[in-house]
Amino acid sequence: MVQDWLDFYHYPYLRINSWEFLRKPISVSLVNGEFSFTMAGKKIDLDSIHSIWYRKYGLFRCTETYRRLISTHKMDEELINHLSKEYARSIQTLLIALKDEKWLTNPMYMNVSKLEVLKVASDCGLNTSATYLVNDRNQLAHLVEKKNLISKSVFDPIIAEWGKRNRGMMYTVEVNKEELSALPSSFFTIYGTREVREKV
């Protein structure tokens, strides 16, 4: 884990989890063109932060706050979507305050297709696995006959919930012949178009 290495080398760092924007008193202010950030009563010196590692921030629908709101059955989907966007934009304010620093996985460039990233990597001379975007069971079966494949979301995976007790994550999975028969003939609208990539 990155944090373990920072501890090993005694390098000072600050970890901010996105859920803290829901559980702790947090303030991000812009006064006279200068940002300031306070968390749990402690002012964080933004000028002392020169590098940031950004990893899977936000995900309002995975929080306890979201589950509590849903359980009340008092808010419609439109309002829930609005709160989700408000949460994301609140977090983004802090990211904007630090936008000129050095970033590992800069969030300003995160919303790209995985195929786009693979194309850039290939153009840079890196070895990339053969990748296919398919929405048809017959197409997928034809590929499985010839290659060992894994299936991934084209964009970021989500944790989906349906009913009262069902919850599932869009994991990267190996594609096998046994599971093909369980797929509908077309899985674009129900299951989402899937990226399948040659297993290496």
List the pLDDT tens digit at each of the 200 positions of the chain: 788 998 999 999 888 887 787 778 888 888 888 888 888 888 889 999 999 888 766 677 777 777 777 777 777 777 777 777 877 777 788 888 888 899 887 777 766 677 778 888 889 999 888 887 777 788 888 888 887 888 877 666 666 666 666 666 667 778 888 878 887 777 653 333 444 555 54
HSE, CB side, 13 Å, CA atoms: give it for residue 124. Answer: 8
pLDDT of residue 164: 65
The predicted structure's pLDDT at residue 9: 93
Sequence-separated (6 or more) residues with CB below 8 Å from residue 97: 28, 35, 37, 46
Burial class (CB in 10 A: 0-12, 13-18, 19+), 146: exposed
pLDDT at residue number 123: 93
What is the per-residue pLDDT for 159?
64
CA 59 from centroid of its chain's CA atoms? 7
Cβ–Cβ < 8 Å for 101, 51: yes
pLDDT value for 155: 65
pTM score over 0.85:
no
